[in-house]
């Protein structure tokens, strides 16, 4: 009997140690990916490598000079959970009721979306609004929402835009990467009829799916038991779970037309995720996949085609 008690203590001790290790690993990955801090683990990530042409455009393209030259109005808003958020509005050269609302990617800033905004503003004559998502830029937040809480912030910004610009305002939501997931997550909410179309460039299905993919690809680790623990930590600290943060479930409720765009060579957010989103979208939807384009590269590497596809889509729903 003594040896049984002895082994019970050993097994119990091992279980406790494993649970402690699991909790520490969950905290580690929360701090690594979700807490607002410097994300050094992404430095030198091969999955984020883009062509020299793309890098040149992203870092020193004319759109950056264009963005600096514009006189953006700074808008401030308090989120439903008390965060001070900042957005930036640029009225069109000629009066219009058409407005594009942008959502940037992970670790990005509002003005990053001037890469697309210059075209909407100069060629399509749209008003432009772009915000720092919570946990980014000048907006408050000690965690990154990966689109889930951002979806509600977008709804509030949309209401603010309509209040400022008028009830006849027609709105396009355009997001890239995490921002694409955010606008898709917003698509499942009760949006006003003013929102006419959504453009989602390089989105993911759920945060849990994305993390599982990255755990395997970057760290060669299994999703279980790491993700359930990380999700628990995220729920305690940031108020959402990794599975709850689902663009996939939201597009199953969507009533607004959605244009999906993704690079076929994307190794950071696999193209199959956009295919799954498209196949599960309740509303009218189109999908365009571009050869030889890594994560978020399609607009730079296939600009002419991208613009043609974009115009064709917008003409259907915002003629």
Sign of the alpha-carbon torsion through 217, 218, 220, 224: negative
Buried b (16+ CB within 10 A) or exposed e, 54-87: beebbeebebbeebeeeebeebebebeeebebbb
With respect to residue 299, please indicate whether it lies within any of the assigned structural domains.
yes
- Residues 202-250 have pLDDT tens digits of 999 999 999 999 999 999 999 999 999 999 999 999 999 999 999 999 9
pLDDT of residue 19: 65
**How much of the chain exceeds pLDDT 90, in percent?**
83
* Cα–Cα distances in angstroms (integers) from residue 273 to residues 12, 33, 202, 235, 278, in the given order: 41, 20, 9, 24, 9
- Residues 114-173 have pLDDT tens digits of 999 999 999 999 999 999 999 999 999 999 999 999 999 999 999 999 999 999 999 999
Nearest of 187, 307, 202, 316 to residue 260 by alpha carbon: 202
With respect to residue 223, please indicate whether it lies within any of the assigned structural domains.
no
Question: Per-residue pLDDT for 186 more than 70?
Answer: yes
With respect to residue 71, please indicate whether it lies within any of the assigned structural domains.
yes
With respect to residue 277, please indicate whether it lies within any of the assigned structural domains.
yes
As a whole number, mean pLDDT of residues 13-40 equals 81
With respect to residue 235, please indicate whether it lies within any of the assigned structural domains.
no
For 251, phi and psi rounded to 5 degrees? -70, -20
Domain CATH for 96: 3.40.50.1820
How big is the CA angle at 300 (ends 296 and 306), to the nearest 5 degrees?
85
Domain of residue 165, residue span: 49-206+245-317
With respect to residue 259, please indicate whether it lies within any of the assigned structural domains.
yes
Judged on CB neighbours under 10 Å (0-12, 13-18, 19+), 97 is middle
Strands (E) in 49-107, as ranges, are: 73-78, 84-90, 98-103
Question: Per-residue pLDDT for 1 more than 60?
Answer: no
With respect to residue 60, please indicate whether it lies within any of the assigned structural domains.
yes
What's the total number of domains in the chain? 1
For strands 73-78 and 258-263, give the pairing. Answer: unpaired
With respect to residue 216, please indicate whether it lies within any of the assigned structural domains.
no
- Residues 153-166 have pLDDT tens digits of 999 999 999 999 99
The mean predicted confidence, pLDDT, of the chain is 93
């Amino acid at each position: 009997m003594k040896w049984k008690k002895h082994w019970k203590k050993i097994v119990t001790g091992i279980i406790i140690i494993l649970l402690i290790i699991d909790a520490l690993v969950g905290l580690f990955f929360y701090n690594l990916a979700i807490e607002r801090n410097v994300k050094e683990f992404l430095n030198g990530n091969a999955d984020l490598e883009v062509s020299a042409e793309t890098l040149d455009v992203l870092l020193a393209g004319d759109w950056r000079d264009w963005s600096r030259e514009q006189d953006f109005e700074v808008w401030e808003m308090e989120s439903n959970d008390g965060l001070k958020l900042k957005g930036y509005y640029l009225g069109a050269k000629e009066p219009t009721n058409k407005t594009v609302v942008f959502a940037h990617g992970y670790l990005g800033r509002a003005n990053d979306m001037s890469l697309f905004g210059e075209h909407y503003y100069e060629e399509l004559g749209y008003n432009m609004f772009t915000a720092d998502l919570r946990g980014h830029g000048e907006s408050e937040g000690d965690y990154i929402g990966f689109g889930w809480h951002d979806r509600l912030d977008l709804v509030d910004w949309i209401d603010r835009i309509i209040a400022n610009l008028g009830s006849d305002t027609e709105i396009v939501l355009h997001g890239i990467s995490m921002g694409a997931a955010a606008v898709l997550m917003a698509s499942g909410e009760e949006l006003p009829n003013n929102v006419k179309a959504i453009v989602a460039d390089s989105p993911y299905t759920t945060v849990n799916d994305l993390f599982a993919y990255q755990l395997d690809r970057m760290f060669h680790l299994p999703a279980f038991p790491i993700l359930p623990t990380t999700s628990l930590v995220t729920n305690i600290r940031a108020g959402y779970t990794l599975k709850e943060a689902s663009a996939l479930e939201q597009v199953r409720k969507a009533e607004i037309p959605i244009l999906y765009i993704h690079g076929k060579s994307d190794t950071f957010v696999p193209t199959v995720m956009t295919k799954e989103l498209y196949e599960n979208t309740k509303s009218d939807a189109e999908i365009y996949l571009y050869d030889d384009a890594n994560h978020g590269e399609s607009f730079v590497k296939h600009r002419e085609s991208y613009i043609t596809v974009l115009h064709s889509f917008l003409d259907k729903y915002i003629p």
